[in-house]
Structure formats: C-alpha cells, structure tokens
Amino acid sequence: RTVYVNGDYLPEDQAKVSVFDRGFLFADAVYEVTSVLDGKIIAFDGHVERLARSLAELGMDMPMSPEALLDIHRELVARNAIDEGLIYLQVSRGAADRDFAYPAADTPQTVVLFTQAKAGLADAPMAKTGMKVISIPDRRWGRRDIKTVQLLYPSMGKMLAKDAGVHDAWMVEDGAVTEGTSNNAYIVKDGTIITRHLGEEILHGITRKAVLAYAAEAQMKVEERAFTLAEAQAADEAFITSASTFVMPVVEIDGVPVGSGEPGPVAARLREIYLDESRKAAV
Ligand code: PLP
C-alpha cells in the first residue's frame, strides 16, 4: 500500500513518524475518515469543513488548501486502486520535545493519509440483518465535537460489545443516549426520526447532516433531541450513521428487540437515498 506522509507518497513500510510526535504522545491530533464508492470520494466538502473546525478548536491551522487535500485523496485512491474503501487522514501538532504546553506555532504539523480497501462497503450484508448493540456509560472527555484521535474509550466500548457477542455499544450519559462508539444514533417512533441534537456531547457526523437533509427533502419528520435507552428499546426502529456504515439498522439494544426485531423500512429507505445521492455527488 502507498501512504502519504508530509508531502511524500511512500510504501507503507517506509513511511515514518517521529516518536516525539504529539499525536503519539498526547493524542494531540485530529482525523477524518472518508468513504470511497466507485473510486470516487463521498462527502469530501463536509469532511474538509469538519477538519478545519476540529483544527481551529485546538488552535491549529489547516495544513493545506481543500484542493490540495482533494488531490492527495485522489492520488491515493488511484495509486492503491481503491474502488470501495476508506481514506484516513490525520493531522497532528507535530513533533517536539515532550512537554504538555504546545510547541512553537511554527512547528511543522504531521500530515498522514492512507487508504483501506473495503469491498462490499455499500452492499454490506448487515444492512439486511441489522446490528445488535449494548449500552455503556459515556466516559469520554467533554469535547466530543472535536474529532481527536483519543479513541481509547470507544475502543474499550467496541471490545465490551464484542465480548457480549454484539456489534457495537451505544453510550449513555445523564440518562440519555449520546452516540455509538463510532457513529451517530437514531430511533424512529410513529414515523418520526429522532436523533440527539448537536452540541459538545457528540461528534457532528457528516453522514448525519446529509441523512437529515435527505429525510427532510423526503418529507420525513425529524426531531433533534436527546432520547433515553428505554425510549430506544420501545421504538419502532433504530439505526446508526457513519462514513463507513452509511445507514445501518439496529435491531437489538441490551438484549431487547427494537420493533419487530428486524431492520425497518425507514432505515432501509434512508440507506438507499443516502447511497444514491452521495454516489451522484461523489468527487
Ligand atoms: N460519532 C462518532 C463518535 C464517530 O467516531 C463517528 C465517525 O467516526 C461518527 C459519529 C459519525 O460521523 P461521520 O458520519 O462523519 O463518519
């Protein structure tokens, strides 16, 4: 695989990042994951906008223009012959002698991008069977709207889910669901799509934004508000969204079937609309 590191395209085993990189030592880095369908990049503008926002919240600049970032995405897709898959991008505050205080503002950032080929991303069998989740307390830091690489708690959540024989964990705080370990969470009740409102408590999903816009265009009712686990278990449907899963039905929460216990029509319709529309808008 060819990866991108600080201006160079290199075979992955020749790519190097300093042991003093602040991404490595302090999780002082932000990232984006963008999907590729038919060799084209999905929702690129949204991901770049969020990258700029995450960087700004942490006092970092964009490492380059959106156009230059798009060129790197395209180059990696071409060099690695990606038809379906993901592009991972990470920007850290760079390498400096270990100190909690940020290094000088002119310290060069570390910019890394790589691809992951994922055949069957769009045709995922799980879209037909649905996924099962458990709930766990949300023990992440308070600025989940910044997409930092501090992913240890979400990793622990995925492992707890795996140990419980399910696919993911929904996190709960102050009695309400925040989101999944790497996705936004939704329920459907009496035809209304309910998903948590934006704030510092959740990541502002790029897929979420697109799906809610498509839902509104299709005259579906949407409520952006917090919901409880009990409400989710009593819902007609549940689903998640993310760049890598698009729209994926959730059929069981803590052992309780949601609705019929089968993937529901609202999630199926939104998945279809999302895939159609985002394929058309892909770059
Ligand atoms: N919430 C969390 C915690 C995530 O990590 C992610 C994606 O990685 C999402 C939501 C979904 O965001 P997006 O649709 O931009 O992939």
Interval between CA 242 and ligand 1 midpoint (Å) = 5
pLDDT digits (tens, 9 = 90+) for 148-204: 999 999 999 999 999 999 999 999 999 999 999 999 999 999 999 999 999 999 999
Q: Atom 1 (ligand 1): residue with closest C-alpha?
A: 183
Q: What is the pLDDT of residue 226?
A: 98
Predicted ipTM beyond 0.85 = yes
Rounded-to-integer distance, Cα 6 and Cα 242, Å: 27
Q: Atom 10 (ligand 1): residue with closest C-alpha?
A: 183
126 CB-near residues (< 8 Å, 6+ apart): 167, 245, 248
**Widest Cα–Cα separation across the chain:** 57
Q: How far apart are the first and last CA of the chain?
A: 22
Which atom of ligand 1 lies closest to the CA of 144? 3
Count of other CB atoms within 10 angstroms of residue 170: 25
- Domain 2-117: CATH class, spelled out: alpha beta
Q: Where are the domains of the chain?
A: 2-117, 126-281
Q: Do domains 2-117 and 126-281 have the same CATH topology?
A: no
Q: What is the pLDDT of residue 117?
A: 98
Backbone angles phi, psi at 211, to 5 degrees: -65, -40
Mutate to test the pocket of ligand 1, among 36, 44, 146, 184 (most ligand atoms within 8 A of CB): 184
Enter the pTM of the model. 0.98
Q: Atom 9 (ligand 1): residue with closest C-alpha?
A: 183
Q: What is the pLDDT of residue 16?
A: 98
Among positive and negative, which fits the CA dihedral 209, 213, 214, 220? Answer: positive
Q: Which residues of the chain have pLDDT under 70?
A: none
Q: Atom 3 (ligand 1): residue with closest C-alpha?
A: 182
Mutate to test the pocket of ligand 1, among 32, 54, 182, 250 (most ligand atoms within 8 A of CB): 182
Rounded-to-integer distance, Cα 208 and Cα 69, Å: 23
Residue 9 bridge partners (DSSP) = 4
Residue 206 Cβ < 6 Å to ligand 1: yes
Rounded-to-integer distance, Cα 155 and Cα 139, Å: 12
Q: Three-state SS for 27?
A: coil
Interval between CA 3 and ligand 1 midpoint (Å) = 23
- 8 Å CB contact between 226 and 106: no
Q: Which fold has domain 126-281?
A: D-amino Acid Aminotransferase; Chain A, domain 2 (3.20.10)
Strand-pair category, 221-224 with 192-195: parallel
Q: What is the pLDDT of residue 40?
A: 98
DSSP element (H, E) containing 240: strand 237-242
